[in-house]
Amino acid sequence: MAVESYERRMPVPNGNDIEKGNLNRCYPGDPDGLPMEKLAYEIEKLAKEYKITVFIDLHEAKYFHLNMPEESDWDKALGQTIIYYPNMASVELIIPMLDEINNDISNTDYLFSALEMPIPNSAAWWAGKYLDIAAFTLETTRTMELNQRINWHLRFIDIILRNLGMWSSAAVP
């Protein structure tokens, strides 16, 4: 499901770290914590139960990474990046991912680049650190058309799954 406008943080009680209302800052989770910490804990349980071998976290940033406005915070300018956990499972996929996705992009402003190390306490950070699996945060840029952003996310999933031998056909346009 893609939602154009949403509130990404749950309210948290006064005196608590506001980031505890942001699912992307709640890993590892806490079964007795605040709502987003509980959700992170449940996601972790599912990942372990199903013995996943790759974790793909789809995101959208406010700005392009390579064209960040001076007044922007760095974490709002991650658009068009693949952020990978620095383990062998992730590193082996980075170059094929970049080569394949960028080969299809004619506008150089839209090319993707790789960044090492997901934001601490994010889902991809947790999966790479604690499960030692291929773990990625894929960031597109919110200023682009929703349809294009969704297509890039689908292409990345296709590329990753094919490179891992989990998907046999290029089913995504």
Does 56 share its domain with 103? yes
Does 113 share its domain with 35? no
Has residue 145 been placed in a domain? Answer: yes
Predicted TM-score (pTM) of this structure: 0.80
Does 42 share its domain with 58? no
Does 72 share its domain with 33? no
**Domain span including residue 108:** 52-163
Give percent of the chain with pLDDT exceeding 70.
76
- CA distance linking residue 78 with residue 66, whole number of Å: 8
Does 118 share its domain with 151? yes
Has residue 18 been placed in a domain? Answer: yes
Does 79 share its domain with 136? yes
Choose between 73 and 52: higher pLDDT.
52
Helices (H), the chain: 35-49, 88-103, 123-126, 146-163
- How many structural domains comprise the chain? 2
Has residue 173 been placed in a domain? Answer: no
Has residue 5 been placed in a domain? Answer: no
Question: What value does the mean pLDDT take over residues 82-94?
Answer: 95
Query: Per-residue confidence at 168, pLDDT binned at 50, 70, 90?
Result: confident
Cα 130 to Cα 26, 50, 68, 134, 156: the distances in Å are: 14, 15, 32, 11, 23
Residue 113 has pLDDT above 50, yes or no: yes
Does 36 share its domain with 82? no
Does 148 share its domain with 119? yes
Is-contact 91 153, C-beta < 8 A? no
CA 46 to chain CA mean position, Å: 18
Does 131 share its domain with 60? yes
